[in-house]
Amino acid sequence: MPTPAIRCATAEDAPPLAAFAARVFPLGCPVTDPSDLESHIASELSPERFRALIEDPNLLVLLAESSQSIVAYTIAARRSPHPAIPATPGELRKLYLDPAHHGTGLADALLHCALSTLNAEIPRPLWLSVFSGNPRAIAFYKKWGFEVIGEQIFLVGTDPQKDFLMRRPASAELIAQY
Ligand SMILES: CC(C)(COP(=O)(O)OP(=O)(O)OC[C@H]1O[C@@H](n2cnc3c(N)ncnc32)[C@H](O)[C@@H]1OP(=O)(O)O)[C@@H](O)C(=O)NCCC(=O)NCCS
């Protein structure tokens, strides 16, 4: 399998990125009512939504391609949308790989790329929200120094799911890891 190439997404990537995101979204959340899943995909993972995300200067949208197909993407944000989190932290909003690339180091490469970009501006703590019943993702984030600091509800359509809030400090020790 060729090594995937990582790059910033452009507006032209919005339709294939939306199609990829819709395909892999169910990997990160529990089985939910098909209508809730459809509603989430229609509102949050449409080509129009991805075009807006790609064009948002506060967001970094990275994708990985192999043989001209998208095999992974991540979105990181410079601002915090939650009042309980101080203004300076960044947010890791999405990190999704095609299952064929799980365990290959591609997730590390994408996160490394996102953190290098965010921390080139200013070293900052990072937070994320992950489905509480997603042990693989939680284990991955713990390897990267994230710790569970709380919980919140994430709505998939009308289905309330329990997410863990995780935070990674901006310590020199952790920054030295990548
Ligand atoms: C989450 C994700 C990006 C992580 O990438 P990855 O390549 O699978 O991660 P890694 O293999 O490097 O690390 C996962 C770790 O979890 C461990 N793990 C796997 N299944 C596990 C389980 N059921 N319970 C606990 N740990 C588990 C693995 O052994 C590995 O640890 P190790 O490297 O010490 O062996 C990827 O799995 C993915 O895209 N998942 C589907 C989408 C998703 O859930 N995204 C997160 C949404 S917030």
Nearest CA to ligand 1 atom 44: 28
Domain boundaries, the chain: 5-125
Cβ atoms within 10 Å of 112's Cβ, excluding its own: 15
Residue 29 is predicted with a pLDDT of: 83
Of 29-38, 45-54, 67-76, 143-152, least confident by mean pLDDT is: 29-38
Nearest-angstrom CA–CA distance, 53 and 70:
17
30 CA from centroid of ligand 1 (Å): 15
Tell me if 61 sits within 8 A of 73, measured CB to CB. Answer: yes
Nearest atom in ligand 1 to the alpha carbon of residue 72 is 39
> Smallest Cα–Cα separation from 41: which of 21, 66, 15?
21
Mean pLDDT (whole number) for 113-134: 84
For the chain, the average pLDDT equals: 88
Tell me if 88 sits within 8 A of 122, measured CB to CB. Answer: yes
Nearest-angstrom CA–CA distance, 129 and 132:
9
Write out the two tokens for 10. 């452009």
Instruction: Indicate the fold that domain 5-125 takes in CATH.
Output: Aminopeptidase (3.40.630)
pTM of the predicted model over 0.85: yes
Residue 172 is predicted with a pLDDT of: 42
Select the highest-mean-pLDDT range: 1-5, 35-39, 135-139.
135-139
pLDDT at 57 over 70: yes
Nearest-angstrom CA–CA distance, 133 and 107:
19
